[in-house]
Amino acid sequence: MQPYLETDLTLSPAHEQLKLGVHAFARDVLRPAAARLDRMGDPAQVIAPGSALWDTLRTAYKLGFHTALVPTSCGGMGLSGLGLQIALEELGWGCAGLASSIAVAGFPFMSVALTGNQALIDELVTPFVTDKTAAHVGCWAITEPLHGSDHFSPGTAAFHDPSVFGEVTATPAGDEFVLRGQKSKWVSNGTIATHAVVYLGMDPSRGMAGGGVAFVPLDAKGVTKEPPLDKLGLRALNQGSMTFDGVRIPKRYVVADPSVYEPVLRNTLLLTNAAVGAVLTGTARAAYEEALAYARTRVQGGKPLCEHQLVQRTLFDMFTKVTNSRLLSRLALVYNSASQEQALEYSIAAKVYCTQSAFEVADAAVQLCGGRGLAKDSTIERLFRDTRSGLIEDGANDVLALVGARELLNRAARA
């Protein structure tokens, strides 16, 4: 199947090369690895030495994809806006789980780089961007056993309720902070990560808004990890919980305190929600292409499936959802990377719409392929399970939609 028709006629040669390069990596590395990792019955096998996961990560690191979110001033690729959307869609076309793993690997280091603290950058970021062997793997530790989507609700009254506070806390102790509490099983890269950016509670009087962000080396004394999570979809993506029992970090590793936590969280969601939308756009495209190829060769009623009008209508609806997803995820990433007045509602809309559309496209692909779509060795069967995860990851769609609605109402009130 040829790459999709690029309708942006102003795409630069650099963006064209980026698309072709990431697509080749997704085709030649991610897809074969995804097929092998998905079939492993025990998630511990996925992360075991010699697993295809490590070969995939090492290849990604050699190509520099682990630095996609790190600014060029710090040695990274510095992708944003259109370039980031293109790369994430292609990675999602290859495998949504591995795409997430590669992107999240750089999240703690991006967070440090954005502080502009050169001493911290030299200490923490430089070893990561120069890594070619996947010796440094990051994770974004935010979700907790009793807190999931409520972590993603800045701007709402509930976010400022003092009776609701994070489970992982940071307490000052001289020149250090002491971390205590547990993050839940859904931390992406949680079991394999060497470093984390931890979203934690610092001021309970402010509720969830009294949070902070810290860079935490996971070899620190007091950090324990649970076995990897066994789950329905995204089986190539390692996820697992971690506990902090009196973990001490220097105060300089706290990159955001309660005075700036809410805007920092908003900036995080501006990126992550739109990014998930871009990744799942690629996964939807993969499901559409699989269904299209099958419909052109599978014969029913004496002619190829694609010659039946009902199948044609279904394929066109799938194509329309993929195209709309690309447009919306690009809009959110391009606008919010360039505008001085960023709009969280567009990033949330991209996440909610693109993940829902991806699930619907994958569901339609299973239906078109009939029994073949249900077979465990079918790519479409894996894509269907992977897209179902998108409705929950990085905030459940129902909750995010309410946060987006609050953004709309707040903007209208300011007009």
The pLDDT of residue 415:
84
The domain that contains 172 carries what CATH number? 2.40.110.10
Q: Does residue 123 fall inside a structural domain?
A: yes
Out of 228, 245, 260, pick the residue that ends a domain.
Answer: 260
| Structural tokens at position 313 | 């209508």
Whether residue 123 sits in one domain with residue 29:
yes
Domain hosting residue 275, numbered range: 262-410
Q: Does residue 292 fall inside a structural domain?
A: yes
The domain that contains 117 carries what CATH number? 1.10.540.10
Q: Does residue 237 fall inside a structural domain?
A: yes
The pLDDT of residue 132:
98
Whether residue 365 sits in one domain with residue 267:
yes
Whether residue 380 sits in one domain with residue 268:
yes
Whether residue 239 sits in one domain with residue 114:
no
| Structural tokens at position 354 | 């693109």
The domain that contains 397 carries what CATH number? 1.20.140.10
Whether residue 344 sits in one domain with residue 249:
no
Q: CA 333, 353, 190: angle at the middle one, nearest 5?
A: 70
H/E stretch holding 171 reads strand 169-173
Whether residue 228 sits in one domain with residue 120:
no
The pLDDT of residue 149:
86
Out of 76, 94, 129, pick the residue that ends a domain.
Answer: 129
Whether residue 399 sits in one domain with residue 276:
yes
The pLDDT of residue 152:
87
Write the DSSP symbol of residue 123: I
Backbone angles phi, psi at 212, to 5 degrees: -155, 175
Per-block average pLDDT, block size 10, for the chain (415 residues)? 82 96 98 97 97 98 98 98 98 98 98 97 98 98 92 88 94 98 97 98 96 98 97 97 98 97 95 98 98 96 96 98 98 95 96 98 97 93 97 94 94 91
The pLDDT of residue 4:
83
Q: Does residue 193 fall inside a structural domain?
A: yes
Whether residue 338 sits in one domain with residue 304:
yes
In angstroms, rounded to a whole number, what is the distance separating the alpha carbons of residues 225 and 176? 22
Q: Does residue 101 fall inside a structural domain?
A: yes
Domain count, the chain: 3
The pLDDT of residue 2:
58
Whether residue 270 sits in one domain with residue 400:
yes
C-alpha distances in angstroms, 42 versus 38, 39, 48, 357, 389? 10, 9, 10, 30, 19
Q: Does residue 7 fall inside a structural domain?
A: no
The pLDDT of residue 66:
98
Q: Does residue 1 fall inside a structural domain?
A: no
Whether residue 154 sits in one domain with residue 67:
no
Out of 260, 278, 307, pick the residue that ends a domain.
Answer: 260
In angstroms, rounded to a whole number, what is the distance separating the alpha carbons of residues 377 and 356? 24
Whether residue 268 sits in one domain with residue 256:
no
Q: Does residue 313 fall inside a structural domain?
A: yes
Helices (H) and strands (E) in the chain, counts: 15, 10
In angstroms, rounded to a whole number, what is the distance separating the alpha carbons of residues 328 and 279? 12
Whether residue 87 sits in one domain with residue 146:
no
Q: Are 110 and 69 in contact (CB under 8 A)?
A: yes
